[in-house]
A = this chain, B = another copy of it.
Amino acid sequence: MNAYSIGVDLGGTNLRVAAIGAEGQILDKVSEQAVFDAGPRQVVNEIVGVIQAVRARIGADGLRGVGIGVPGYIDMDAGIVIGSANLPGFEGFPVRDEVQERLGTTIILENDANAAALGEMWLGAGRGVKDLILLTLGTGIGGGIVINGKVLHGFLGMAGEFGHMTVFPDGNPCGCGNCGCLEKHASATAIAAMGRMMHFGRDTTSAKVYELALQGNERAKRVFESAGRALGVAIASLINIFNFPLYLLSGGPLPAWDFFAPSMFAEVNKRSFTFARTGTRIEKGLLGADAGLFGAAYLPFECGKAIGNQPSVISHRSPALS
């Protein structure tokens, strides 16, 4: 039986599960609606049920573990969601231990944006790179920092809040209490809001602004130019701070790359001499919504390497050297 792992992406809407081989082969993929009405224990039941079905189809022998990506702050040591706007009832609930007890295999809980950064590193635009930053443009802007192949969590699991970097100190107000947060100028929500400012109608979405830009609408193009400038200010600072070789963008507005990238690159060129003088890359993520799912599946392999080596050395040594 070849080694494989199972990734779980638990969002506010969907529960998605994938079984992936050690070389990145997708062995199975399941998607169903996530229902939170009956509380976290019922969601755990759902997760466990889907994983058991996948495991039964593929075989239990090769399973190295399960990674679960969730939208929220994670206490990595405890395996607990300590804060989440999208998972009602999960705060303080011991997700990892509940699932682990039921399945009897290693479970690793991780923030979904961090998982997406790992997914892009493993199977997407970051193949071959060990140090990268992913920014995910959605309702807000989140992301993940990968250093030497591992996620940077910070001391409370709150690292990577790129959406709340200040890009325009007197910019749009943010629910966090700040003005000029990146996500108020470049998220899908911000693009839609700027579209409404351009009188595209109350039901304007970032996708609609994109459609209008494709049709040649100059005001729609200027919305993306504005978002690109904000992204450029933030990414230039990130490059000056981290000096990583690769910065990735993903999320709903990504198809509009050709509309926001020129102003983004213009800002980065101006604001980061590191970018201007080196081969630093800013690119599109390649995995879309699968990045977090695949990255969740990567977690057991990554931890397996660290954990797996120790016992084998000890077992070799103990008879000969003790």
* Contact of A241 with B155 in the complex, beta carbons under 8 Å: no
What residues on B are CB-neighbors of A237 within 8 Å?
A: 164-166, 237
CA distance A240 to B174 in the complex (A): 14
A316 interface residue, CB < 8 Å from B?
A: yes
A306 interfacial by beta-carbon distance below 8 Å: no
Give the total of A residues in contact with B, Cβ under 8 Å.
Answer: 45
In the bound assembly, the distance between CA atoms of A160 and B244 in angstroms comes to 11
Residues of chain B within 8 A of A154, CB atoms compared: 131, 242-244
Q: Is the CB of B177 within 8 A of A276?
A: yes
Inter-chain CA distance A161–B154, complex, in Å, is 20
Contacts of A176 in B (CB 8 A): 273
User: CB of A274 within 8 A of chain B?
Assistant: yes
Contact of A161 among B165, B240, B278 (CB under 8 A): B240
Contact partner of A168 (CB less than 8 A), chosen from B165, B169, B321, is B169
Tell me which residues across on chain B come within 8 A of A270, comparing CB atoms: 177-179
A316 and B131 alpha carbons, distance in the complex (Å): 34
Smallest CB gap from A320: residue in B: B320
Query: Judging by beta carbons under 8 Å apart, are B156 and A278 in contact?
Result: yes
Interface residues of A in 214-255 (CB under 8 A from B): 233, 236-238, 240-245
Q: Does A262 make an interface contact (CB < 8 A)?
A: no
* A167 CB within 8 Å of chain B: yes
A11 within 8 A of partner (CB): no
- For chain A, residues 148 to 164, give those with C-beta under 8 angstroms from any C-beta of chain B: 152-162, 164
A305 contacts partner chain B, Cβ-Cβ < 8 Å: no
Contact (Cβ within 8 A) A158 B276: no
Tell whether A243 pairs with B166 under 8 Å between CB atoms, given A161-B274, A176-B273, A237-B237.
no
A243: which B residues are within 8 A, CB to CB? Answer: 153-161
Question: Hey, which chain B residues are within 8 Å of A84, CB to CB?
Answer: none
Provide a sorted-by-A list of 18 A–B residue pairs whose CB atoms are within 8 angstroms.
Answer: A152-B242, A153-B243, A154-B244, A155-B244, A156-B274, A156-B278, A158-B274, A158-B278, A161-B241, A161-B243, A166-B233, A166-B236, A167-B169, A177-B271, A316-B317, A317-B317, A317-B321, A320-B320
**Chain A residues in contact with chain B, CB under 8 A?**
131, 145, 147, 152-162, 164-169, 176-179, 233, 236-238, 240-245, 270-274, 276, 278, 316-317, 320-321
